């Protein structure tokens, strides 16, 4: 039964992640595909570039919510452990490579943050603090995201996270890091703003 719960959690997580709110909102607001402008990513930051702050905030909230929901549902299926780690990794994978949008999605940060909050609120705060600090130090979003994903699990361990939480943090962190590598060489003109 545990194996089937884990498989179900992964499938539900991936399906939720594959709902690309960035694409849906920009088509609704402006009749465009957000992946054809700016960075080419289907995420809140690129929505802000394409159609403004209001739609971007809406997308960020929805992306965060689907990450949270995927893990919350997994907890109902199998508690906290491998099942939640699979769901968390799957929802971020779905966001980054969505089956409903030609496998061209976003970077997974907002979605992953929602998944982390569902596991451990303090860990979510730690993750945000780590991510923001690295953004300010490195001044390059993708590289900061790579290092945030790598350092997330050790940071949680340092603050006493239980092993079931750590494997979920590792699942989210590894997917976010891997996805961010695709932008490692991208040139940014301003921190968190438009790119050349």
Nearest 10 degrees: CA dihedral of 127, 130, 136, 142?
Answer: -60
For residue 79, the model assigns a pLDDT of: 75
Q: Is 193 helix (H, G, I), strand (E, B) or coil?
A: coil
Q: What is the pLDDT of residue 139?
A: 87
CA distance 181 to 177: 6
Q: d(Cα 27, Cα 36) in Å, to the nearest integer?
A: 11
What is the full per-residue pLDDT of the chain (196 aa) written as tens digits? Answer: 488 899 999 999 999 999 999 999 999 999 999 999 888 899 998 999 889 999 999 999 999 999 999 999 999 987 778 999 999 999 999 999 999 999 999 999 999 999 999 999 999 999 999 999 999 999 899 999 999 999 999 999 999 999 999 999 999 999 999 999 999 988 765 445 444 4
Query: What does the pLDDT read at residue 195?
Result: 46
- Quote the pLDDT of residue 32: 92
Domain boundaries, the chain: 2-183
């Amino acid at each position: 039964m545990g194996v089937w719960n884990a498989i179900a959690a992964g499938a539900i997580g991936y399906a939720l992640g594959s709902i690309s709110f960035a694409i849906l909102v920009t088509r609704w607001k402006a009749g465009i595909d957000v992946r054809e402008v700016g960075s080419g990513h289907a995420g809140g930051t690129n929505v802000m570039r394409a159609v403004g702050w209001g739609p971007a905030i809406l997308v960020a909230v929805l992306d965060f919510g689907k990450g949270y929901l995927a893990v919350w549902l997994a907890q109902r299926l199998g508690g906290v452990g491998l099942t939640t780690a699979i769901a968390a990794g799957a929802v971020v994978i779905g966001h980054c490579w969505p089956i409903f949008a030609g496998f061209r999605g976003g970077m997974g940060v907002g979605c992953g943050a929602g998944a982390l909050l569902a596991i451990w609120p303090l860990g979510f705060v730690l993750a945000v603090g780590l991510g923001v600090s690295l953004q300010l130090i490195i001044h390059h979003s993708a590289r900061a995201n790579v290092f945030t994903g790598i350092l997330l699990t050790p940071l949680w361990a340092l603050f006493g996270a239980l092993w079931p939480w750590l494997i979920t943090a590792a699942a989210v962190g590894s997917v976010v890091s891997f996805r961010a590598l695709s932008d490692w060489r991208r040139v940014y003109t301003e921190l968190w703003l438009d790119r050349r």
